[in-house]
Amino acid sequence: MTTRARSFDAAAALYAAHRPGYPPALFDAVEALAGRPLAGARVADVGAGTGIATGLLRERGAEVLAVEPGDGMAAEFRRTHPGIPIVRGDGDRLPLATGAFDLLTYAQAWHWTDPARSVPEARRVLRPGGALAMWWNDTDVTVPWIAEQEERLRVFFEVKGESRRTLPEGLGEFTTRSVTWSRRITLDDHLANLASHSAFLVLGEARTRAYFAGERELLNPLFPDGIVEEQYVVNVSVAVV
């Protein structure tokens, strides 16, 4: 695993406290695209992290098992979800039995895998007719202040070109749906959420602190009551294998 893929471990509590969840409509879309209800489904949630998606899958009635490579994230998962089983491992080498799962989910985690390995592994552990679902909570850049914030991030991290996500080959056709949703949180929580992203986790404290001082100064006048509405588009892609 790369330094950036491991970066979440030192910030697991920050991550668990501030990262957004996922709306019910996302799970409705997963059920529609996978062609089966989550209730009673045998699901492996890979790259489970602190369990944000895993807990919601369990609430929908799935028999869910978490898979997580990172020490810090797995420890936070065990602390906050003591009733859900978790095994250590990653998407490139799943510690799971062949043909044992109806659904594999990757909530903001597929991009950390090596598709040359994670695609055959997904095929191996899914039963015939099982499904792979992957999703990301993207910020809604149709909202002007969010588009401006994203542009500042691109400039700061010198991101070149479009960040287009490529869906893996070798799993058949993916179908993609987008679900918009929002949450209202304090400006402090909004900034803490931003700071829990891997790009900042590997940046170092001084540069991160300087960036957030500037960001706070820009956002304060936009949100005089200190409440921010974060708007998201969850892009979910599902392939039935």
Ligand X SMILES: C[S@@+](CC[C@H](N)C(=O)[O-])C[C@H]1O[C@@H](n2cnc3c(N)ncnc32)[C@H](O)[C@@H]1O
DSSP state of 143: S
Question: Which span (29-37, 66-74, 166-174, 224-232) binds ligand X, by CB under 6 A?
Answer: 66-74
Site for ligand X (CB under 6 A): which residue of 33, 48, 125, 194?
48
180-219 burial: b if 16+ Cβ within 10 Å, else e = ebeeebebebbbbbbbbbbebbebeeeebeebeeebeeeb
Q: Is 90 in the site for ligand X (CB under 6 A)?
A: yes
* Residue closest to ligand X (Cβ): 49
Catalogue the long-range contacts made by 213-222 (C-beta closer than 8 Å, 24 or more residues apart). 215/149, 215/152, 215/191, 216/187, 216/191, 218/152, 219/145, 219/149, 219/187, 219/190, 219/191, 220/187, 222/145
CB of residue 77 to ligand X, shortest distance in Å = 9
Site for ligand X (CB under 6 A): which residue of 33, 109, 239, 240?
109
Site for ligand X (CB under 6 A): which residue of 11, 55, 57, 68?
68
Selection from 101, 175, 170 nearest residue 135 by Cα: 175
CB of residue 218 to ligand X, shortest distance in Å = 25
Selection from 68, 16, 13 nearest residue 45 by Cα: 68
Site for ligand X (CB under 6 A): which residue of 26, 46, 56, 62?
46
Task: Return the residues of window 160-199 that contact ligand X according to CB under 6 A.
Answer: none
Question: How many Cα atoms are found within 13 Å in the side-chain-facing hemisphere of 160?
Answer: 0
Q: Which is nearer to ligand X, 145 or 177 (CB)?
A: 177
Decide: 100 and 121 in contact? Cβ < 8 Å: no
Q: Is 52 in the site for ligand X (CB under 6 A)?
A: yes
SS3 160: coil
Question: Phi and psi at residue 92, in whole multiples of 5°?
Answer: -85, -15
Q: Is 234 in the site for ligand X (CB under 6 A)?
A: no
Q: Which is nearer to ligand X, 116 or 210 (CB)?
A: 116
Q: Which is nearer to ligand X, 148 or 182 (CB)?
A: 182
Q: Which is nearer to ligand X, 163 or 206 (CB)?
A: 163
Q: Which is nearer to ligand X, 135 or 211 (CB)?
A: 135
Question: Which span (28-36, 43-51, 146-154, 202-210) binds ligand X, by CB under 6 A?
Answer: 43-51
CA distance linking residue 177 with residue 64, whole number of Å: 23
Q: Is 19 in the site for ligand X (CB under 6 A)?
A: yes
Residues that bind ligand X (CB under 6 A): 1, 5, 8, 19, 46-49, 52-53, 68-70, 73, 90-92, 107-109, 112-113
